[in-house]
Amino acid sequence: MKIAWFKKVISPEIGACLAGYGIGDKSVAKLDDLYATGLCADDGENKILIVGFDLLGLDEWYITKLRKECAEILGIESCAVLFSCTHTHTGPESRTMFSAPQELNTKYLDELENGILEEVKNLRDFRECSVYFYSSKCDENRNRRYVTACNRATFTPHRREVVPTATEYADKELGQLCFLDKATGQPLYVVGNYAAHPLAGHSPGLGGRRISADFPGAFRRYVTSETGAECMFISGAAGDLVPREDELGADAIEKMGRNLAKAAIGGLIDCTRNPLRFRMDDAKVGAVSKSVTIPLRKNKIGKLPAYYAGKTAVELEMQAVSIGDVCFVGVPGELCCELGQEIKWHSPFRRTWIAYNSTSYMGYIGHANMLMAGGYEGSSQRITARGGLALLNTAADALFELREKIFPSEADDPYPDNLTPPLVNIPAGR
């Protein structure tokens, strides 16, 4: 395995409109820079490219165009280029809003496109590395929905007094990939995956008007400062998840980012000291993309950006990009954590992580009962109640197809059944 990477500042100028809570929110200061972080992995036969953006989201047409351009530069298929937006609300308005299409910062997007293409063209210094994975539980998020006994949902950001009683599901997994220099054993690159809206710092007033990558930026800074490795953060299925200390300002950003980063450093220690468990020898890369057509809810037809004009259904893409026995699933919007967990459960890969706002920006995507209970996410969803299940099944099909492609020896029995270990299976470290 060889990897190359880039890190590009993508902060807008102060005064640019932010993609926060209100139309016309203009930035008045900058707390920290936004970045596009790119990682290209080459197994000697195939390449994949993953790019993480400190942006709220990107339009489908823009994603399709830029992925194709990046793929042409690298000589790979478009499905092997995975984009993901962290969903920071304190970045520029980078996707088209139905109610205010004029807010889209087209000049910024043109500059972003040119900048990314230039970085991809300059990916030359590939480093040979060993690849490790790790997974840990971090209690840094919570579900922002409180569902009553009669199955009605309350949106806790508007009812903070009920937060202590809210017990809806929250995915606590911090997933990470670690790339170590093959010659020296030193960390080269760390990819972290965790599910929470980057809203730790979006306090009323100034906090919501400062350009910031929020806690994903703090996570990357701490990992790099303490390990020397470059770092990428990919948001998981965070549709209904927020930081435990949401909307409280700069201190909340640093606290959450550092806590996740320290957990990642702990994971780096554990995985490298237990190579038989966590090192992926002869790791291969691969990619598969599958689309499904899903009807729109009747009350949402005509309330989508202009490029969906006249449609009563949308074609949405689920993308699977793997490195060894770890797979990222790119989803077309703000997938809620319950569906993200279902995808993880139905995956044949050892570890599967969601890449948020990846193939499109279709807003919130939840399970059918979320629409029954209502609340902010359910009321905002644009696709029909069965749409979440259709996307889940499409993702599972893509994952199994990719598994068979990467591990052809399993073709006769494609699920990697693990029947040989003893009933109590705690593997030795070495």
Per-residue pLDDT tens listing for the chain (430 residues): 999 999 999 999 999 999 988 788 899 999 999 999 999 999 999 999 999 999 999 999 999 999 999 999 999 999 999 999 999 999 999 999 888 888 888 999 999 999 999 999 999 999 999 999 999 999 999 999 999 999 999 999 999 999 999 999 999 999 999 999 999 999 999 999 999 999 999 999 999 999 999 999 999 999 999 999 999 999 999 999 999 999 999 999 999 999 999 999 999 999 999 999 999 998 999 999 999 999 999 999 888 888 888 899 999 999 999 999 999 999 999 999 999 999 999 999 999 999 999 999 999 999 999 999 999 999 999 999 999 999 999 999 999 999 999 988 776 776 667 666 666 666 665 5
What pLDDT sits at residue 429?
54
Q: Which region holds residue 399: left if phi is over 0, alpha if psi is between -120 and 50, else beta?
A: alpha
Distances (CA, A) of 136 to 133, 227, 384: 11, 19, 34
Which residues, 6+ apart, have CB-to-CB distance to 209 below 8 Å?
18, 20, 25, 26, 27, 28, 29, 90
Which residues, 6+ apart, have CB-to-CB distance to 269 below 8 Å?
none
Query: Using CA atoms, how far apart are residues 282 and 280, in angstroms rounded to an integer?
Result: 6
- Count Cβ atoms below 10 Å from residue 394 Cβ, excluding itself: 21
CA dihedral 19, 22, 27, 31 (to 10 degrees): -70
* Residue 89 in tokens: 């609300």
- Whether residue 371 contacts residue 381, with contact meaning beta carbons closer than 8 Å, is answered with yes
